[in-house]
Amino acid sequence: MQTTDPSLKSFVSVSSESHFPIQNLPYGVFRTSTNATPRIGVAIGDFVCDLSILEDEGLFTHPDITDKKIFHQPNLNGLMSLGRPVWSDVRKQLTELLNESCATLRDNSSLKDRVLVPRSDAELLLPVKVNNYTDFYSSREHATNVGTMFRGPENALMPNWLHLPVAYHGRANTVILSGEDVRRPCGQRKAPEAKAPTFGPTKRLDYELEMGFFVGPGNEREIPIPIAKAADHIFGMVIVNDWSARDIQAWEYQPLGPFLAKSFATSISPWVVPLEALEPFRMKGPEQTDPEPLDYLKSCDDRAYDINLEVSIQTDENQEPMTICRSNLKYMYWNICQQLAHHTVNGCKVEAGDMLASGTISGPDKSSRGSLLESTWRGEEPIEFPDGSIRTFLQNGDRVTMSGFCQGEGFRVGFGEVTAKILPARSKKSTS
């Protein structure tokens, strides 16, 4: 069965604008008021399909899953570690069970009622135990914009940028789930004209529109993952908001790069969309001919993805969110397979649960810039809201929401959203 076939229909009612048709089936972890045990499910329409019950009923037949209680686990790490043949087999069986022509669930009212949990009744949890987190810097438009601001257009890209996917290691234990609010961080800041730094809350809090992917089976230390096999090591993708304190970063980042300006919070969406669900939306990425990548980074196939992305801000003054940015993952210069191949080429070990994020995703025009730093051009071009209020950077009480989807023939494969509200910095008394 072709699990991304546009003609597939589920017996579960799904609107054409839903992010979660049968062609998607993204994985998440949830619990309910009647069963507080975290377990694995997939989203289908307005429901969560409880895979732990299907597992108990013996409806998954792959030998690597039988009797292992994979879907009873509190995260996706166990499933991710099993590899693509298992993922594909499970996906095919799920597609069959949820298909409108299959009677197994459709005509068994008792089982169907137990398996299909309204999403409104489900508390979503962090889907993955993130072991390591690497953040890339892979959008040429974003890197050019930022470089132009700080070094001028003639030196916008650093000499290495077109030769390798630039990245740094982030903090895995501050990756948080959509819906968890973000407190304004404190740190050292130094104004350009000041003689010395001061300590206090960031005055330039920003979002960064990114996407991330999770590693499935890893590699042995000292054994690189070749680019031709990189996709087999990638389980699925989420939307990422990698929050940034621009003034703290400007003071601290030389010579070793981001630290406190980035490590306070990285928000992700709760549903992990399998790479297989994104197959119909693969496309050729930007040309890489001047210069050509070194051999280990040369893509064997098209690995850009046509994923529509959007950022909105809701302020205390304006209860209706206003769209700030519309971008697309297809703009990324370095693709996910190149990122993973580069990450491991020195023998670095990756494992199930490692998260790699794209870096800010910006497009060719102002409306597609993936951060406020770019949209307001370092605060020189404020964004105006309908009531006349303006933003150069985020204020307390602002809610930032990111969403994304691929548009198919009469259906969408979506990621849901990642959202958070900005809370005031902790008082000096509470931090002493």
What whole-number distance in Å separates Cα of residue 306 and Cα of residue 424? 36
- CA distance to 4, 226, 250, 425, per residue, from 26 (Å): 13, 27, 38, 35
Task: Please name which of 134, 404, 116 lies closest in space to residue 277, comparing C-alpha atoms.
Answer: 404
Q: Is 306 exposed, middle or buried (0-12, 13-18, 19+ CB in 10 A)?
A: middle
Task: Please name which of 140, 88, 335 lies closest in space to residue 230, comparing C-alpha atoms.
Answer: 335
Q: What is the dihedral of CA 23, 323, 153, 203, to 10 degrees?
A: -120
Estimate to the nearest angstrom the gap between the alpha carbon of 49 and the chain centroid.
22
What whole-number distance in Å separates Cα of residue 1 and Cα of residue 3? 6
Q: What are phi and psi of 300, to 5 degrees?
A: -85, -20
User: Peptide bond before 258: cis, by omega within 30 degrees of 0?
Assistant: no
Helices (H), 323-389: 336-344, 372-375
- Beta carbons of 232 and 82 less than 8 angstroms apart: no
Residue 382, both tokens? 């404020």
Task: Please name which of 273, 217, 213 lies closest in space to residue 27, comparing C-alpha atoms.
Answer: 273
> DSSP for 252-267?
H-TTT--STTTTT-EE
Residue 158, both tokens? 């650093």
Give every CB contact of residue 150 below 8 A, 6+ residues apart in sequence: none
Place of tokens 């601290």: 252
Q: Is 142 a catalytic residue?
A: yes
Place of tokens 């199930």: 352
Catalytic residue among 19, 62, 142, 342: 142
Helix (H, G, I), strand (E, B) or coil at 97: helix
Catalytic residues: 142
